[in-house]
Amino acid sequence: MQSTPLPSATEAQVRAIGTADLVVGIPSYNNASTIGHVARAAGAGLAKYFPGAKAVIVNSDGGSTDGTPQAVLEAELPDLRTVLVNHAAGTAARISTPYHGIPGKGSAFRAIFQIADLLHARACAVVDSDLRSITPAWFELLLRPIVDGDFDYVAPLYQRHKFDGTITNGIVYPLTRALYGRRTCDDGIAAPRSRSPRPRWDGAGARTRPG
């Protein structure tokens, strides 16, 4: 499937950044009241757990009318900026871009992954924009296995009460298992997750990672 082109202004911004080690994507639609907290948690987590990495926070927005993109760009990250200056850590940037195509998380994710690929990122994490329980430690848990380990995909496993997540447990998970014939973690359906760049294959048939 051919990728939907990024907006020209977004692509120019990505080209200006050049490359990045880590990307955190936040898909959104009318989440101005909560997305600032998510962006601050991401910034603090990147600064604390990956101080030497060049990181980019990407907001992929579905046409919000409540000022969600502006909330991301204006989110105060004083701790992140202080750490970056005082500890000579990598540079963190923020991008807020509308996505094109069929409305929904699929199109939002595609835009985030396109940007991660253009930046040649080592790992890309995606989290929801309405999370109130998110903490900086989430980003170490999502990104560390890919950055320092040999993992290509990370999904969360939540400890839930048996009556929590009834739609996921009773409908979505059984349907997904029936469609794909695999027993997967039902929490992999949730938004918090991370991935490595798509593996490449050399001429001898060995799997390699983009350098």
Segment 57-102, tens digit of pLDDT = 999 888 888 998 888 888 876 444 333 223 333 446 677 777 665 5
Q: Judge whether 169 lies within some domain.
A: no
In a domain, 14, yes or no: yes
Output the domain CATH number for residue 23. Answer: 3.90.550.10
Average pLDDT, the chain: 78
Record the tokens describing residue 170, joined without a space.
Answer: 């009773």
Higher per-residue pLDDT: 104 or 122: 122
Taking residues 37-52, report their average pLDDT.
92
Please indicate, yes or no, if residue 179 is contained in any of the structural domains.
Answer: no
Task: Assess if residue 2 is contained within a domain.
Answer: no
Asked whether residue 165 is domain-assigned, the answer is no
**Quick check: is 94 in a domain?**
yes
**pLDDT greater at residue 88 or residue 177:** 177
Q: Tally the domains of the chain.
A: 1
Q: For residue 141, give every residue at least 6 positions away whose Cβ sits within 8 Å of its Cβ, in sequence order, or none.
A: 154, 156
Mean local confidence (pLDDT), 11-40:
91
Inter-CA distances, 24 with 2, 44, 86, 151, 174, Å:
23, 12, 23, 17, 29
Nearest Cα residue to 117 out of 209, 9, 8, 7: 209
Please state whether the predicted TM-score (pTM) of the whole model is above 0.95.
no
pLDDT digits (tens, 9 = 90+) for 133-153: 899 999 999 999 999 988 998
Low-confidence winner among 67-71, 170-174, 182-186 (lowest mean pLDDT): 182-186
Domain that residue 85 falls in: 8-158+189-199
Residue 3: predicted pLDDT: 61
